[in-house]
């Protein structure tokens, strides 16, 4: 019997979603609606792929969305991590929300900027204490000898901060992705999917507030 990986050409799911004909004029409204619906079905609806660039090409990983408003999409990370270094060198970034169980995805392109320190402080203060301690210890994306070394460093930090608040590390904080393109994708029968992309009105590629209908032009795309 063949393994699943050997049956890839035959592996497919038939989509049966209602036709998606009207995205409305405001991309933020549609994202909020789709996200709220995803929260009813998806275990981690805020899990998104973040794709960055370096001299070798694209690099992708899963990150959790921690904020969205008219100004863009926010996530937090170690600034010395691979993605942190890449975004500081080249702010071009792509996000993807893969809501497979709803036969949907949202694709985003934009420019990343570091959030204000006050915003990073406010989010860090909400994190579980264990995650705060881990952030002070982890040299994210750097080699480490073994798990025992990691655990020893974590335990030492936990002892050091016992009985007091854990401060946000200077090299840890947020990025806001300011959007210049956002696409809403709905699976359909026969792979004849519904795709609506919001691009900047007038052909601009500068980011704009997601709540301003006049800044965006929705366009249906072939699948």
Stretch 176-198: mean pLDDT:
97
CB under 8 Å to 42, separation ≥6 — which residues?
99, 101, 102
Stretch 192-197: mean pLDDT:
97
CA separation for the pair 47, 207 (Å, rounded):
23
Stretch 130-156: mean pLDDT:
95
pLDDT band at 180, cuts 50/70/90? very high
Q: In the chain, where are the structural domains located?
A: 14-127+169-221
pLDDT band at 1, cuts 50/70/90? low
Do residues 15 and 103 touch, judged by C-beta distance below 8 A?
A: yes
Do residues 218 and 198 touch, judged by C-beta distance below 8 A?
A: yes
pLDDT band at 8, cuts 50/70/90? confident
CA separation for the pair 104, 18 (Å, rounded):
11
Domain 14-127+169-221 CATH superfamily: Electron Transport, Fmn-binding Protein; Chain A (2.30.110.10)
Instruction: At 86, give phi and psi (nearest 5°).
Output: -65, -40
Q: Mean pLDDT for the chain?
A: 96
The model's pTM: 0.95
Stretch 79-102: mean pLDDT:
97
Query: Distances in Å between the alpha carbon of 121 and those of 10, 115, 126, 155, 186?
Result: 49, 10, 9, 23, 37
pLDDT at 129 over 90: yes
Residue-wise pLDDT for 26-76, tens only, equals 999 999 999 999 999 999 999 999 999 999 999 999 999 999 999 999 999
Instruction: Please indicate whether residue 43 is annotated as part of the active site.
Output: no
Residues 144-148: contacts with CB under 8 Å, at least 24 apart: none
CA separation for the pair 6, 13 (Å, rounded):
17
Which of 164, 191, 195, 200 is flagged as catalytic?
191
Residue-wise pLDDT for 160-173, tens only, equals 999 999 999 999 99
């Amino acid at each position: 019997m063949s393994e699943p990986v050997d049956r890839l050409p035959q592996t497919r799911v038939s989509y049966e979603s209602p036709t998606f004909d009207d995205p409305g004029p405001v991309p933020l409204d549609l994202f909020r609606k789709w996200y709220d619906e995803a929260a009813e079905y998806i275990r981690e609806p805020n899990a998104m792929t973040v794709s960055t660039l370096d001299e070798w090409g694209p690099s992708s990983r899963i990150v959790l969305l921690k904020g969205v408003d008219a100004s863009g999409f926010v996530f937090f990370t170690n600034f010395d991590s691979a993605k942190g270094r890449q975004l500081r060198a080249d702010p071009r970034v792509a996000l993807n929300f893969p809501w497979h169980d709803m036969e949907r995805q949202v694709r985003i392109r934009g420019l990343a900027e570091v959030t204000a320190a006050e915003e990073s402080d406010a989010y860090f203060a909400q994190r579980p204490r264990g995650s705060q301690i881990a952030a002070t210890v982890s040299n994210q994306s750097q080699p480490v000898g073994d798990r025992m070394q990691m655990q020893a460093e974590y335990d030492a930090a936990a002892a050091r901060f016992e009985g007091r608040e854990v401060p946000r590390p200077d090299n840890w904080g947020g990025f806001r992705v300011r959007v210049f393109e956002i696409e809403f994708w709905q699976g359909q029968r026969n792979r004849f999917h519904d795709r609506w992309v919001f691009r900047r009105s007038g052909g601009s590629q500068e980011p704009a507030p997601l709540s301003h209908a006049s800044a965006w032009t929705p366009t249906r795309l072939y699948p």
